[in-house]
Chains A and B, each alone.
Chain A
Amino acid sequence: MAEKKVKLMQGNEACVEGAIAAGMKFYAGYPITPSTEIAELSAERLPRIGGKFIQMEDEIAGISAIIGASLAGTKSMTATSGPGFSLKQESIGYAIITETPCVIVNVQRGGPSTGLPTSPAQGDIMQARWGTHGDHSIIALYPSTVREVYDTTIRAFNLAEKYRTPVILLMDEVVGHMREKIEFREDQEIEIVNRRKPNCLPEEYKPYKVKEGDLVPEMAAFGDGYRFHVTGLVHSETGFPTGNEKVAEALTKRLFNKIEENVDDIVEYEEYLLDDAEIAIVAYGSTARSAKSAVEILREEGMKVGLFRPITIWPMAEKQFLQLSNKVDRIVVVEMNMGQYFLEVDRISGKNSKVEKYGRVNGELITPEEIVSFIKEG
């Protein structure tokens, strides 16, 4: 039996280790607190495994470079925090319309603007969903432990490759900087998904044609001999721009539906003590850790409280939220913002149960005790 590798590491480090396990060979980014350790560790690790790291001149260049590298056939990632995430939005849209797999990490901090650079926040939930302009769907994941950061980063790469789309990995300052014990899996246990390459003749290759029964088009890399065109303009199956309204409608819907019609495959969540629960707390990221403690405290006091923790933030686990609302009388959404995910939970669950929000926007963690007293008072 192989020796277990046990390490003490922070979330940002686990993110890099997960990315490398998933096959990341290219990182481009710009320094920003509290995500910088992801860049630093990538700079140290990548050349040792034949990969490349580059510190770009700004945040926009960081995401642009990873899209270019991905199109040249390399699994790529960038990481940033609040203000940098705002700057990257246009190119996230470019990755969506060009169906370029890549991972964008956002270790959230207090905002708006420069805000609270070294403090945790969860204010980018809606920006992750709607930050880039135009109609689109998006995949956004949010781990809450260091162990889970590692696994979820691998999953982010796998989903990016499978659905040919940018995947946003959300963390917050606490998840990014907190150190926990992490046990590494053996290589063979890790499922790795790679984009499917075409094997047709170059003259027959249509870079945006989805074959019958396939989820996404096959993806050649620049230099493979297929000489295809990539554009952010609306394009036909050939990859070339068109203003044809039928093509435009079909493309926008296909990009949207490839995610929205596969929600069951994409959503991941944790249910904690919900079986007999009358009250459910909804929380994610570091807040979910406090929420879990709150559940335990309230249980000891005899209250039937459970936790629903979405790990996939977008697309939303609508089916599960509907089921939850049929089961409990009261849902409390706890998040470090003014109530962003609450809006969505209320939209789905609000018809069948009372949905309330509890938030905090001062850069301090939400404690189990304040969740406990909010629930008791209610």
Chain B
Amino acid sequence: MRRADVVKKVTGALEYTIDSHMAGMLHGKLLRSPLARARIIGIDLAGAQKMPGVAAVLSATELPQPVPRFGPVIADQPLLASEETKYHGEPVAIVLANDEDTAAAAVPQIHVEYEELPAVCTVADALKPGAPLVHPGGKRHDGKICDSNVCGEFEFQWGDIDKAKHECAAIIDEVYSFPMIHHHALEPLSCIAYPMDKGVAIKSPIQSPFILQRVVAACLGLELSAVRVMASDIGGGFGSRGYAKLEPLAAYLAMRTGRPVKISTSLDDGFFTVRRLAATVRMQTGFDGEGRIVFQDVQDDFLMGAYADTSTRIAQKAGFLGCGLYRTPNARIVARAIYSHTVVSTACRGFGMPQLVWAIESQMNAASRLLKIDPLEIRLRNLPARGEVFVPGDTPADGDWREGLKRAAAMVGWGTPKKSNVGRGVAVGVKTPIPASVSNAVAKLHADGGATVAVGTTEMGQGARTVFAQIAAEILRIPFAQIQVIMGDTAIAPFDFATAASRSTVTMGRAVMAACEELLSQLRAMARELGVIDREADAEFVNATIKGRQGPIAYGELLKQYLGTSHGEITGRGMFQGEKDSRHPLGGLSDFWEVIFTSAEVEVDRATGKVAVKKLVSVSEVGLAINPLQAEAQEEGSLIMGLGHTLMEELVYDESGKLLNAGPLDYRIPTAMDIPIIETHLVENRDGPGPYGAKGIGEGPVIAVAPAIADAVYDAVGVVIKDLPLTPERVWSALNAAGRGAKNAN
């Protein structure tokens, strides 16, 4: 089944927000802070203001006071930096002009006087006694006032960890680090806001239109009905388009000027806008003599950026799964989200789990070495069986996980002979969707027998539009081509929580199903009333018709007979919400577990430290792949995103808080030249809660690539690396420190 949007995409006809234009539109260009933390002593806007074609130039001083702030969890981010900048690249002023060139030319004419102040850019620096506070007097996740840079702190505990520590054959205590990663979506951030008769409309590549609506309304003091968000198809999301970025400012400016306002940026600007949380994870893991986990004592320190965005939720939700997929009888997990003077951190594919799984799986690799148990075998001993509870109080294991792992291992030839400097590794990963989150859908059956489905989900390449049309076609028994899916418009679609957490196929898919089933119920009732069928239970739907006593009747004909010659249409509504549980720390049970088994084969060059990944494999339990082509393609992309953070990606800050590699020239993501043989295997047992037994997919593979490759590197050349990425320099240094470099090669 081809993607619904694919012709537009291969012909270049699809209009992204950045391609859009409106009559009378003003173009906004941002001035960003060249320093991380600095007091703004004065801003001279005059040079920019007097340029012909410039409509307005604003800094925080020109905004309402106190400067409006926004954020999905904590409203800590100002429309423009107020009094003190908090990270390198923070927007300090904006020019609005009649055309983009003029706006861009006016930006350098703004002169700002700064007093540079000390900044904190690492977990260690942010936690030092007396460290500068990013938000003195600000609010934490729990509503308390910040008295340190810790913004959120979450503790999860079960069993008796202190007792368990005395019952182990071996305890491994290590620290692992995971760097700051940029999402690197190809479409640059942009948005357009324009005044409505009451309030403001926003067109944006946003994954969560309803959250954006709420955040903009709260920031600008508007009612929800006064903010309409229209999510356009997104040129790459991965979490970077989850929450408000430029939209609150654009919305404010549109209302202030009474004109459409477009703020557009370039790919480089993205590096000054969003990133993945970095993490330092200290893990103490106890094992019995057979390699079974006795306890986990976990300290997850997530390094946030200067504003909270959704960072605290990531620490909380990932922290909850801080023991991963393994049966863990005793556990203590403390997850902290810590502010720093760096670019804002937000959701990124995997939502904190790649960081934690790097640590969890590195511990398993360490245990395998210490206890001399094969890396595959030690994992098999700790994976729960189907139906076994592995996190107390949550959904039991919902798949045949040991089989999945064995398959992944077999796919790289586990246990078969290999050449020197070649190694293999396996790893497992897990994440949970958003517990108890709500999706609604509306389906309309038209007079001609076609249908329109309206959903709050957005299309960001994952293929949701296609999957929903497939589901609607299947339920309504009408051709795929006769279904239109309208996405992401808060004024048209009913509420949806977000396009995130691999949840849309499951939760929105179920809502679409329910909406379409309601249409069928209405058709049944109409048919019975008209005497087409005797009992509603007799109704049979085939090829856009209902089978009547005197033969099939087309839906359109039935509507016409029932509603009269003016035709008209009928509307079905559907809702899905996962299981709520007030005792659960996340508010509900995991709808399903997004589980991944990864394996890798690498060859390491001892002379240069370069890791050549030869083969990368993922096996995922997907329940049912509603669109196998899209599902496999997404899993492949997710693997390669993981390859990027494993081998090459890292945002680099200097001590003053300057970002040194903002842009694709200095921050390298994998290219077509870097890709190994990729194989993805989808296990389909139709055992998920989604339509036809589907589970969510697409995030899984990114989660466990790093530990699989790292253990393959160990297998190849015998060095252990605890910090990502595994750059040639880092591997070369480790090889030489261990006396295993090219000169010592055996």
A and B: partners? no
Interface positions of A (Cβ within 8 A of B): none
Interface positions of B (Cβ within 8 A of A): none
